[in-house]
Amino acid sequence: MTLRRRKITVVGAGNVGASAALYLAERELGDVALVDVVEGIPEGKGLDLLQYGPVGRFDSRVTGSQDSRLMEGSDVVVVTAGVARKPGMTRLDLLQTNARIIQSVAKNIQAHAPDAIVIVITNPLDVMTYLLWKLTGFPAHRVVGQAGVLDGARFSAFIAQELDVSVEDISTLVLGGHGDDMVPLVRYTTVSGIPLADLLPADRITALVDRARNGGAEIVKLLKTGSAYYAPAASGVQMVEAVVKDKKRILACSAHLSGQYGLSDVYIGVPVVLGGGGVEKIIELKLTDAERAALHNSAKIYKEAIADALKVVA
Ligand code: NAD
């Protein structure tokens, strides 16, 4: 028997895509293929990352191309192609442009990586994940979106800063869409098993929730020319790791619902078991009335946006 390395394609070699390729290679999660439409960028960044190997001490081979045939044989495809927000924009403002980009990316994945598990990062996240699922015709467990890992990381970072404790001890869960309507579940947030509410007063928790909810916009305002990329890319890579190592991690991901939480035909952030089979299980929590209402409100926003996106690609 000959074992082979995993192959992971990153579509879009911009800020998020190149950072994801870097982390994937550093962690030796597989060989990495970078695909982008801009001439020279995927090739150049791929070569740069390959040359980092001897210094970074990793054997992942990184290649780049404009030719989407490079994705052939991919086990996992990470989709980061698309425009990012500028100050004053919401993620939904990206819908028209990115729906067309996802349409062409879906076609390429269908043609060249028909067996891959696809992790979508492009915004508006829940809408683009739905669109990619619909356009590839892949089973829903093989198409999943990254949002909750990042939103949870943002909330955790602010909690750790506030309490002056290690980020490693914080565990949190953020449901709902990747937007202002996200639903951080404070009652599922613990610090080394201690409920957050036992450690911080309610007004401070509310302030941290608000900062996490606006965590992306805070960075867009500072950068002025684009949006966050280190943490978003690392969050996507954590999902790739769960898949290629079949870790069966419970992570908040944008997953296709077909009746769970009383919702169907929508992608939205919920806790899932992520492993070698992709989304192996959707975990249905018993939500309070307020949490359920917030999740349904979030889903309503994305259902409407999905209808708009489907018109763009019709
Ligand atoms: P960027 O502009 O730096 O890079 C985007 C890249 O996509 C560019 O290099 C562009 O040439 C490429 N591209 C465009 N059309 C393509 C196509 N058809 N095929 C292949 N490549 C194509 O943007 P970025 O900062 O890397 O952000 C990428 C996307 O990720 C944006 O939509 C952004 O909103 C989103 N994002 C999502 C999250 C999240 O948590 N889900 C977080 C941050 C950013």
pLDDT above 90 (res 1): no
Are the CB atoms for 253 and 142 separated by under 8 Å? Answer: no
Tokens read off for 70: 């490079």
CA-nearest residue for atom 35, ligand 1, is 122
Do 148-313 and 7-146 have the same topology in CATH?
no
Of all residues in the chain, what percent carry a pLDDT higher than 90? 95
pLDDT recorded at residue 203: 98
Place of tokens 């996802």: 102
Residue 296 is a catalytic residue: no
What is the average pLDDT value for the chain, to the nearest integer? 96
Please determine, for residue 219, whether its predicted confidence score (pLDDT) is greater than 90.
yes
- Give domain limits for the chain: 7-146, 148-313
* Per-residue pLDDT at 133 exceeds 90: yes
Nearest CA to ligand 1 atom 33: 84
pLDDT band at 202 (very low <50, low <70, confident <90, very high): very high
Q: How far apart, in whole angstroms, are the C-alpha atoms of residue 157 and residue 164?
A: 10
3-state secondary structure the chain: CCCCCCEEEEECCCHHHHHHHHHHHHCCCCEEEEECCCCCHHHHHHHHHHHHHHHHCCCCCEEEECCHHHHCCCCEEEECCCCCCCCCCCHHHHHHHHHHHHHHHHHHHHHHCCCCEEEECCCCHHHHHHHHHHHHCCCHHHEEECCHHHHHHHHHHHHHHHHCCCHHHEECCEEECCCCCCEECHHHCEECCEEHHHCCCHHHHHHHHHHHHCHHHHHHHHHCCCCCCHHHHHHHHHHHHHHHCCCCEEEEEEEEEECHHHCEEEEEEEEEEEECCEEEEECCCCCCHHHHHHHHHHHHHHHHHHHHHHHHHC
pLDDT band with cut points at 50, 70 and 90 for residue 44: very high
Residue 179: predicted pLDDT:
82
Q: Indicate the residue type of 19.
A: S
Position 142 scores a pLDDT of: 98
Q: Is the pLDDT of residue 43 over 90?
A: yes
**Averaged pLDDT, 102-109:** 98
Centre of ligand 1 to C-alpha 144, Å, is 16
Query: 148-313 — its CATH code?
Result: 3.90.110.10
Neighbours of 246 (CB within 10 A): 12
Euclidean distance between CA atoms 34 and 10, whole angstroms: 5
Q: Render pLDDT for 142-194 as a digit per residue (tens, 0 to 9).
A: 999 999 999 999 999 999 999 999 999 999 999 998 888 888 899 999 999 99
Q: Which of 246, 256, 222 is nearest to 139 (CA)?
A: 256
| 249 has pLDDT over 90 | yes
Asked if pLDDT for residue 30 goes beyond 90, the answer is yes
Residue range 282-296: mean pLDDT, rounded: 94
> Domain 7-146: which topology?
Rossmann fold (3.40.50)
- Residues having CB closer than 6 A to ligand 1 are 11-17, 35-38, 41, 80-85, 94, 98, 101, 104-105, 121-123, 125, 146-147, 150, 178, 226-229, 232
> What's residue 293's pLDDT?
94
pLDDT of residue 134: 98
User: pLDDT, tens digit, for every residue of 274-285?
Assistant: 999 999 999 999
Return the pLDDT at 182: 87
The whole-number pLDDT of residue 93 equals 93
